[in-house]
Structure 1
Amino acid sequence: MGPTVLDRVITVNAISSMVTVMILLLAFLRADYGFIDVAIVFALCGFVGVIWTLRMLTPGEWHVTVPELEELGGEGGEAAAHD
């Protein structure tokens, strides 16, 4: 694992992806397609875990900014919220 937290998050995400691929290969080789559901759930849990970890490591509000909007006269480059 790497020296920074971001390196560790990327490593865990890569390992999760490899395990998902191995589960899918196992499903293909055994012709037991019930494992595909397991792989999908495992991949979604890994994705949610990474997003949750990043949210905890970067506290505060998350704003979506689009730098190109500043050139068009947008207000601060922030994306418009749709209500």
Structure 2
Amino acid sequence: MIETAVLISTIFLVLLTFVGLYRAIVGPTAEDRIVAINMISTKVTVIIAMIALITSQVLYVDVALVYALLGFIATIGLAKLLLKGKLGK
């Protein structure tokens, strides 16, 4: 029962990731694109963690943690570029 709920939640998150991808591509400003990329990164991290729960593979949890860290660093880097004025013009 729990596996089914996690699987349905994972599929729902994958569909929502495509909504974020649309915003990252079409977003009218650079800020919208950065927020969308951060949202995609967070959703992918949760999807990887759910896959770890479904498959009972502990290795996927480590992958999710590394992916979350890289997503955070990328968001900080893009925010710094945006503040310096080298992004979004």
**Does TM, scored on the shorter chain, surpass 0.5?**
yes
Q: Find runs of 4+ consecutive structure 1 residues off by over 2 angstroms.
A: none
The total of aligned residue pairs comes to: 60
Runs (5+) with no aligned partner, structure 1:
61-83
Aligned CA-pair RMSD: 1.2
Deviation of 1:31 (Å):
0.4
Calculate percent identity across the aligned residue pairs: 40
For 1:52, the equivalent position in structure 2 comes to: 77
1:20 corresponds to 2:25? no
Map 1:2-81 to 2 at 5 A.
Answer: 2-59=27-84
Q: Which has the higher contact order (CA 8 A, sep 6+)?
A: 2
* TM-score normalised by length of structure 2: 0.64
Q: What SS does the aligned partner of 1:58 have? A: helix
Higher fraction of helix:
2
Deviation of 1:56 (Å):
1.0
